Structure 1
Amino acid sequence: MSAQSACVVVDPVSTGGTLAAEIASRGYAVVALWSQEVTPLMRTHVPASVRGIRYHAEVEEQSCLAATAEAVRASCQGLELLACIVGCETGVALADALSEELGLRTNGTEKNRRNKSVQQRCVKASGLRAVREAVGTSWSQAESFAESESMPVVVKPVESAGSEGVKLCRSFEETRAHFNLLMGAQRTVGSFGAAVLVQEYLRGKEYVVDHVSRDGVHKTVMVWVYDKRA
C-alpha cells in the first residue's frame, strides 16, 4: 500500500534514525531534511537496525527558510504533509522554524529550546535557583569566573546533545584548555551557535525528567537518576 501522508524528519541521525524508521513502519512517507549543521559523516551515525532505511525523499537545507519550505513541498507532491519533527539536536532550530513556515503543528521558535545559557536565564526569571555560569566565545569572557569559582567546574558547548563535549575540569589551566578546545572545534565545523559555558559543579544526585506537552496537557513520561563515575 502506498503512503498517503508524509512526515518530515530533520536530521534523522542517532536515535532520530530509529524515529524515522518507526514513522515509516506506520505507513507514512518519510522525508529526511538535512540541516547545514550535519556533515556527510554525521549522516551515517544511525543504529545498525535502521541503517538501510529508504526515505521517500532526501532534501538539503536551502539558503533561506522559504526556499527550504518550497523544496520540502516539492518532495511531497501528491501527499498530505502532516508534520515536521526533529530527529537530532542539530535540527532543533530548523524543525521549529520550518514547522511554523509550513503551517504545521509546531513548538514555535524559541532560543531556550537549545541554548543552555538561555535555559538557565529562563529558570532564574521564574524565581528558581539556577547554576552559576559564564558564557562566551573567547576565553577572556569566562576567565574571571573561572578564577573566582571553586574547582571543579563544568565546561561544555552552549548547544550540544547529552554529554557531548562536556568535561569536569579540576584546575584553572584545564578549564582554559577545554574552553579553547571546544571553541576551536565548533568553529571548524561551522556551528551556528558556537559558544562555551563554564558552570559551577553541583554535587549530589542528578535527576532527569522526560516531559511531554501538547495543547496545554503536560505528561511526565520518565524519571532518571544519573550514575556519575569519575
Structure 2
Amino acid sequence: MTQKRPVLVIVCGYSSGAFLAQEFDKLGFDCIHITLNRLASLKAFRINQNDYIAELIVEDETKIEDCIKKLQTYHPTGIIAGCECGVLLADMIAAHFDVYKNESEISLARRDKYYMIEQLRKQGLTAQKQIKTNILSDIFEWQKQCQLDRIVLKPLKSAVSDNVYYCTTQRETEAVFQSILNEPTVYNEVNTEVLAQEFIDGTEYIVNAFSFNGKHQIIDIWQGVNNTPDLVSNDLYADLIGQSEAVHQKLGNYTKEVLTALGVKYGASHSEIRINSRGIPYLIECGVRLSGRIYSPVLEKLYGESQYSLLLKMYTDPNVICEFLKRPLSPTHKARYVYFKSNIDGLIKEDVNLASFYQIPSLVYVDLPLKKGDWLHKTCKVKKIHRPGFAYLLASTEEKIERDYHKLIELEQKTYEDIIR
C-alpha cells in the first residue's frame, strides 16, 4: 500500500471531536474513523464520511483484533479519543501501537466512574464513599452504614449528566435506581449496575487541562453558578477563575494529582470537581478528552492556546507543547460562559437573528442553532431536554460582564418569544 500522508485514528469522532479530521486534513494528515457497533446506527452519532479515508466498526472494546490488523497496514502516528465514548476504546487500540498513550493498565479508571474514584482512593487522594450494585437493598444498607442523608445515583459509564440524580428519600432512590438499571445510556450501553455515591455539598468547578509526557498544564477553570443547587447540571453560567485567586492553585494542584493518579500522560482532560464546606476538593468525574461544547478561539484569545490547538500541535509541533507547559498562564480578560435555557416551547417560524446578540459589547461568541421549522423545546433536565445554546462574555471588569449578562438573558428570552409567535 502506497501511503503519502501520515495517518491519525479518531475514535468516536463525535461532539467535541467532530471537526478534528477536518483540521488534521489541513495540516497534512489522513484520518481513519473507528466507532462502536452500538453507536453506528444512532442518528446522534453520525460523521461526515468525506472527512475520513476509512471507517472501521468494532463490536465492543474487547473485540478489536481485526481492527488492529487492519490499522497496522496504515502505520498510524496517533490514536485520539474524539469524545467520552471513545476514551476506553482509544486506550485499547493505542496499546498496540508506538503512539502517544496513557497508562493502559488502568484504562478502566479513566472511563468507569466507580473505578475512577477507587483509583484516587488507592493513590491516597480524597474520594467520596460509593457502591456499585444491581440490588436496590444494597444501596439502602450502604447508605445506612455510612450515615448519609443524601446520595447521588448515576450510570457507571455515560456523559452529559445522563441519569444523574440527587436522592434524599428511599422513594426517590428506588425510582431513580429503576430508571437507570437495565436501561441504555446516551451511548446505547445497557446499565447492568448502578453507581451510588456520597453527595458532596459545595461549589462545583470545571477544570480543563492538557498533558504531555506526564506533565500537566491547567488551562482554564470555571466556577458554576446556579439558583437551584438541588438539580444536577442546572448552572446559569460559569465564571472564569483567575490564576491569582487562591482557589485556582488548590484546584490546579488537586487536578494534577488526579491526572497522575489516573495514568494520564498525553492529551486533553475535562474534570468536574467540588470543594466542600471544609475546603476539601473531591473529583466528581474526569473525562480524558476535549472539553465538550466549547469554542476554542475564545480560549485562545484568553490564553494564547486551547486544548484544541494544543492537540493539533501535539502531532505537528510538540516543542510548542513543551514550552506551553512551562509558561505561567494568566487570562487577558474576565470571562463568563452563559448557559441558555428556554422557558417556552413551540414551532420555530423564523431563523434566529444572531446579529442582535453581537450588539452586546462584551459578547464574543454565541451558539444558538435554532432553525425555521424546528421545534423549540422547553429546557428540562428531568425530561432530558438540554440547553438550546450558549454564549461567551469577555470584558476588562466583572462589572461589565454582569451588566451585559443581564442584557444577554433578556435578549435570549425575547428571541425565543419572537421566533415562535
TM value normalised by structure 1: 0.82
- 8 Å contact 2:180–2:191 — kept in the other structure? no
Q: CA deviation at 1:226?
A: 2.2
Identity %: 24
Judge conservation of contact 1:13–1:42 (CA < 8 Å) in 2. no
Supply the RMSD in Å over aligned alpha carbons: 2.8
Give the unaligned 5+ runs of structure 1: none
Corresponding residue number in structure 2 for 1:106: 101
Deviation of the 1:190 alpha carbon: 6.6
Q: Deviations over 1:124-158 (max 9, x none)?
A: 22333321222113323323124555443211111
* 3-state DSSP of counterpart to 2:66: helix
Find the aligned partners of 1:188 and 1:223 in 2 and give their Cα distance.
Answer: 26
Aligned mates of 1:225, 1:141 — CA distance in 2: 34
- The residue type paired with residue 45 of structure 2 is T
Counterpart selection for 1:221 from 213, 219, 222: 219
Shift of 1:42: 5.2
Q: Residues 186 and 194 of structure 1 are in contact (CA less than 8 Å); yes or no, is this contact kept in structure 2?
A: no
**Aligned residues of 1:153 and 1:201 also touching (Cα < 8 A):** yes
AA aligned to 2:66 is: A
Provide closer, same or farther for how the CA distance between residues 193 and 183 of structure 1 changes in structure 2, counting only shifts above 3 A. closer
Specify whether residues 164 and 23 from structure 1 end up closer, same or farther in structure 2 by C-alpha distance, changes over 3 A only: farther
Task: Between 144-153 and 4-13, report the one with greater CA deviation.
Answer: 144-153
Shift in Å, 1:83: 0.5
Give the Cα–Cα distance (whole angstroms) in 2 for the partners of residues 3 and 169 of structure 1.
56
Which residue is equivalent to 2:71? 72
| Among 76, 80, 87, the residue aligned to 2:82 | 87
Question: What SS does structure 1 have at the residue aligned with 2:153?
Answer: strand
User: Which of 54-63 and 86-95 deviates more?
Assistant: 54-63
1: CA distance between counterparts of 2:42 and 2:119?
34
Secondary structure at the aligned position of 1:27 is classed as: coil
Which residue does the alignment assign to 1:141?
138
Question: Is 1:158–1:194's contact at 8 Å kept on the other side of the alignment?
Answer: no
In structure 2, distance between residues paired with 1:37 and 1:191: 7
For 1:115, the equivalent position in structure 2 comes to 112
Q: Higher relative contact order at CA 8 Å, sep ≥6: structure 1 or structure 2?
A: 1
Aligned length in residues: 221
SS at match of 2:99: coil
The superposition leaves residues 167-209 of structure 1 with CA deviations (integer Å, 9 ceiling, x where unpaired) of 1223211112212221221399873774321112211211232
Judged with a 3 Å threshold, the aligned counterparts in structure 2 of structure 1 residues 178 and 39 are, in CA distance, closer, same or farther, namely: farther
Gaps in structure 2 of 5+ consecutive residues: 232-421
Superposed, 1:158-197 pairs within 5 Å as: 158-186=156-184, 191=189, 194-197=192-195
Give the whole-Å Cα distance in 1 for the aligned partners of 2:204 and 2:186.
32
What is the TM-score normalised by the length of structure 2? Answer: 0.47
CA distance in 1, matches of 2:137, 2:162: 23
